[in-house]
């Protein structure tokens, strides 16, 4: 019972209408309602307090001739200075941004102040009415009535504060009127009672309506600011929180950190296990991330697989690192979804404000750059932003700018690396590899500029150029020679590539089966929806498709069964180590066996030594490619080579 009463009174004095039968809310929402109530009261406070001070002075003047003038003067001085003090305080706090949450303690203080001021006015009829002149009595009556109405209006959203303020005035008036015993005064007392109850009823109706409106508005805002899947704050809420943190930084130098997290290989999970499983994965990730943070901090989901956290009041950068490490550790255990154990991982970028920026634009740009470096360094990496990062981002942008003009400036060219049929000892074709001769930076390798082209979308233009150039070159070579062209995952976004291929083959007048497209494993499970359509389109056109870098990506055995590849290319990392590491040798042997069983060709990439070639010959590998057979060469070198040896019997060195 005691606990019940204690909790009831705590709710009552916190201005919560649940104490008067309204449905209870959680503390976060209750705090938000209190913030709205207090903000409204503060809005009126300065004017009302000024009126209080004036009224107190009017009363002192009206009682100047009365026997109680000295007490009235002291009373008026105390009330008007208290009213002015509170009024100025209210005005000052209005200048500060409106809080989203107000504690119960603040509301207790407000109710207490209302009671104190109400009591001060309640004293007036009791202490001064009897000895006052009839004119002064009229002034007292008017003032009390005005105070009652004003108080009820000011506290119309907080009934308990309205009761605390008006209650003593009603009581004082009732005592004053009842004490005399005069019938007219008794009638007046009844009138005051009726008047009071109508006033309070109005206060309650208004307060309930106000609360209902705030809750509805809060719900609406929550849907705008909340990610519907994970129920975490979304990008809108995150941006607001970031602006709030920046405001606090400028006002009170409160430092903070922004952590940006990206799920590694989320697209693969989505594609492999289906979208419902992908959604469930995100929900579980959100819950694990939220468990790693401090109570007042909320991880936000700001993109498909991107999460962010603002760590306010940061004392040391190590604190941000500690949370980041907790995030990484949260992925140690797999996620149980639909009977599967799905493993996940994240990469993280961190910026510190003000060190890394004092505007949201700079901070977001820099955290993105830090995340980019983290992702490049591999899963589970955490990177703080470094000034050098900015330089490398600028470099990337400059390179992208130059790449935009590289085709028309004739800076791109293809080199060709041969495939050797081991059994026949002759060249069967060449892989076209793109090169960029930059006017000032020299020769830039594709591993540098292809990712930039992919990120910027330039790859479509580049890819089309490569296809046309490769087909044109192919037309100069014998009919039994094929050419292989690399395809990026991004190119699978653009169905028009099929048209380009048809046009290029037509223009060069070469048979489609001489053109091979090399795609990587990761492309098969890429996010690009049109991938299967384009793959089938390629096959329908009569092209062959090779699976590049086999063994380095996600297991694509299922795809091997589903899609009619003509060749698998074993990644060079396995070839490099197969003579020293038994596991690599086992993988090479089983991939060759697999290709034979599936009746498709198999090429070993990166063959550099005669021993490697011999081993591959013994394991019945079909074709090899690597520096031992030939480095990438220019078109004219290849033409000269083929002209010189019509049988293409280029033997290994
Ligand atoms: N250490 C060693 N390396 C060898 C050996 N034999 C060949 N290589 C290199 O291995 C890479 C093989 O190409 P990739 O796996 O398709 O990997 C290619 C491919 O993914 C991409 N790329 C090249 N040209 C194009 C293109 O036109 N379009 C697209 N989308 N990507 C391209 O750039 C990657 C790198 O190309 P490159 O720098 O030309 O590097 C080439 C080649 O020069 C060897 O015996 N030892």
ipTM of the complex: 0.96
Mean pLDDT on 268-285: 90
The tens digit of pLDDT for each residue in 430-464 reads 999 999 999 999 999 999 999 899 888 899 999 99
Which residue puts its alpha carbon closest to atom 10 of ligand 1?
606
- In the numeric block, the tokens 């590289």 are attached to 406
What are the backbone angles phi and psi of residue 301, rounded to the nearest 5°? -100, 110
- Provide the pLDDT for residue 335: 94
- Provide the pLDDT for residue 612: 97
Instruction: Check if 55 has its Cβ closer than 6 Å to any atom of ligand 1.
Output: no
pLDDT band of residue 273 (cuts 50, 70, 90) is: confident
- Provide the pLDDT for residue 568: 92
The tens digit of pLDDT for each residue in 1-33 reads 788 889 999 999 999 999 999 999 988 899 999
pLDDT at residue 647 is higher than 70: no
pLDDT at residue 524 is higher than 90: no
Distance CA 178, CA 111 (A): 28
> 632: CA distance to ligand 1 center in Å?
9
pTM equals 0.58
Mean per-residue pLDDT over the chain, rounded: 89
For a mutational test of ligand 1's pocket, the pick from 406, 450, 552, 570, i.e. the residue with the most ligand atoms closer than 8 A to its C-beta, is 450
Is the N-terminal amide bond of 646 cis, ω within 30° of 0? no
pLDDT band of residue 218 (cuts 50, 70, 90) is: confident
What are the backbone angles phi and psi of residue 482, rounded to the nearest 5°? -105, 165
| Residue extents of the structural domains in the chain | 1-224, 235-385, 412-643
- Provide the pLDDT for residue 652: 40
Q: Which of 185, 45, 70 has the alpha carbon at shortest distance from 125?
A: 185
For a mutational test of ligand 1's pocket, the pick from 433, 534, 603, i.e. the residue with the most ligand atoms closer than 8 A to its C-beta, is 433
> 536: CA distance to ligand 1 center in Å?
25
Looking at domain 235-385, does it have CATH number 3.40.50.2300? no
Most confident of 80-94, 158-172, 217-231: 158-172
pLDDT band of residue 651 (cuts 50, 70, 90) is: very low
- Provide the pLDDT for residue 222: 81
pLDDT at residue 278 is higher than 90: yes
Q: Which CATH number fits domain 412-643: 3.20.20.450, 3.50.50.60, 2.60.40.10, 3.40.640.10?
A: 3.20.20.450
Q: Could you give the C-alpha distances from 102 to 27, 29, 38, in angstroms and in order?
A: 10, 10, 8
- Provide the pLDDT for residue 314: 85
Mean pLDDT on 218-232: 89
pLDDT at residue 525 is higher than 60: no
pLDDT at residue 531 is higher than 70: no
The tens digit of pLDDT for each residue in 362-392 reads 999 999 999 999 998 888 999 999 888 778 7
Strand order in the sheet with 306-311: 300-301, 306-311, 256-263, 346-353, 382-384
Mean pLDDT on 134-162: 92
For a mutational test of ligand 1's pocket, the pick from 403, 431, 446, 471, i.e. the residue with the most ligand atoms closer than 8 A to its C-beta, is 446
pLDDT at residue 539 is higher than 90: no
Q: Which residues pair with 486 in a beta bridge?
A: 518
The tens digit of pLDDT for each residue in 343-356 reads 999 999 999 999 99
Assign 581 to helix, strand or coil: coil
């Amino acid at each position: 019972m005691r606990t019940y009463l204690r909790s009831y009174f705590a709710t009552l004095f916190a201005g919560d209408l649940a104490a008067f039968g309204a449905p209870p809310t959680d503390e976060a929402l209750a705090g938000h309602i209190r913030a709205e109530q207090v903000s409204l009261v503060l809005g009126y406070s300065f004017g009302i307090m000024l009126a209080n001070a004036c009224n107190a002075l009017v009363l002192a003047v009206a009682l100047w001739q009365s026997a109680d003038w000295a007490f009235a003067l002291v009373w008026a001085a105390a009330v008007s200075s208290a009213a002015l003090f509170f009024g100025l305080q209210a005005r000052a706090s209005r200048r500060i941004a409106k809080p989203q949450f107000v504690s119960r303690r603040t509301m207790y203080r407000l109710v207490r102040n209302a009671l104190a001021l109400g009591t001060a006015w309640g004293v007036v009829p009791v202490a001064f009415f009897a000895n006052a002149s009839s004119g002064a009595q009229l002034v007292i009556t008017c003032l009390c009535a005005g105070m009652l109405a004003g108080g009820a209006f000011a506290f119309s959203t907080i009934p308990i504060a309205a009761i605390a303020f008006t209650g003593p005035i009603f009581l004082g008036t009732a005592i004053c009127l009842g004490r005399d015993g005069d019938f007219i005064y008794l009638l007046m007392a009844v009138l005051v009672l009726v008047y009071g109850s109508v006033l309070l009823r109005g206060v309650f109706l208004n307060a309930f309506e106000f609360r209902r409106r705030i809750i509805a508005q809060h719900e609406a805002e929550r849907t705008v600011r909340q990610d519907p899947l994970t129920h975490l704050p979304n990008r809108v809420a995150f941006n607001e929180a970031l602006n709030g943190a920046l405001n606090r930084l400028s006002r009170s130098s409160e430092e903070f950190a922004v952590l940006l997290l990206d799920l590694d290989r989320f697209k693969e999970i989505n594609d492999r296990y289906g979208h419902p499983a992908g959604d469930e994965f995100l929900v579980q990730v959100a819950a694990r991330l939220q468990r790693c943070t401090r109570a007042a901090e909320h991880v936000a989901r700001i993109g498909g697989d991107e999460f962010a956290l603002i760590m306010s009041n940061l004392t040391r950068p190590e604190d941000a690192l500690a949370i980041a490490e907790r995030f990484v550790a949260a992925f140690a255990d797999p996620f149980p979804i639909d009977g599967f154990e799905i493993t996940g991982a994240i990469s993280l970028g961190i910026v510190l404000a003000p060190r890394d920026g004092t505007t949201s634009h700079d901070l977001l740009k820099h955290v993105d750059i830090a995340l980019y470096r983290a992702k490049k360094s591999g899963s589970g990496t955490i990177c703080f932003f470094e000034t050098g990062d900015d330089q490398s981002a600028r470099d990337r942008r400059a390179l992208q700018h130059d790449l935009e003009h590289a085709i028309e400036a004739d800076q791109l060219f293809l080199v060709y690396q041969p495939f050797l049929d081991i059994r026949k000892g002759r060249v069967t074709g060449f892989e076209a590899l793109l090169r960029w001769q930059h006017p000032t930076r020299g020769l830039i390798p594709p591993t540098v500029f292809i990712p930039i082209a992919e990120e910027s979308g330039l790859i479509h233009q580049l890819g089309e150029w490569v296809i046309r150039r490769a087909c044109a070159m192919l037309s100069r070579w014998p009919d039994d020679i094929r050419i292989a062209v690399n395809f990026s995952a991004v190119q699978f976004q653009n169905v028009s590539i099929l048209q380009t291929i048809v046009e290029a083959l037509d223009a060069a007048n070469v048979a489609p089966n001489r053109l091979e497209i090399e795609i990587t494993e990761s492309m098969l499970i890429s996010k690009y929806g049109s991938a299967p359509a384009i793959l089938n389109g390629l096959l329908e056109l009569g092209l062959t498709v090779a699976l590049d870098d086999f063994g380095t990506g996600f297991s694509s055995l299922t795809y091997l069964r589903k899609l009619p590849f003509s060749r698998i290319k074993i990644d060079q990392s396995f070839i490099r180590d197969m003579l020293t590491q038994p596991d690599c040798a086992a993988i090479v042997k089983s991939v060759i066996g697999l290709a034979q069983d599936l009746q498709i060709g198999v090429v070993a990439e990166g063959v550099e030594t005669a021993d490697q070639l011999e081993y591959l010959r013994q394991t019945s590998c079909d074709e090899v490619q690597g520096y031992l057979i030939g480095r990438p060469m220019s078109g004219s070198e290849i033409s000269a080579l083929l002209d010189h040896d019509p049988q293409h019997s280029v033997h290994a060195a």
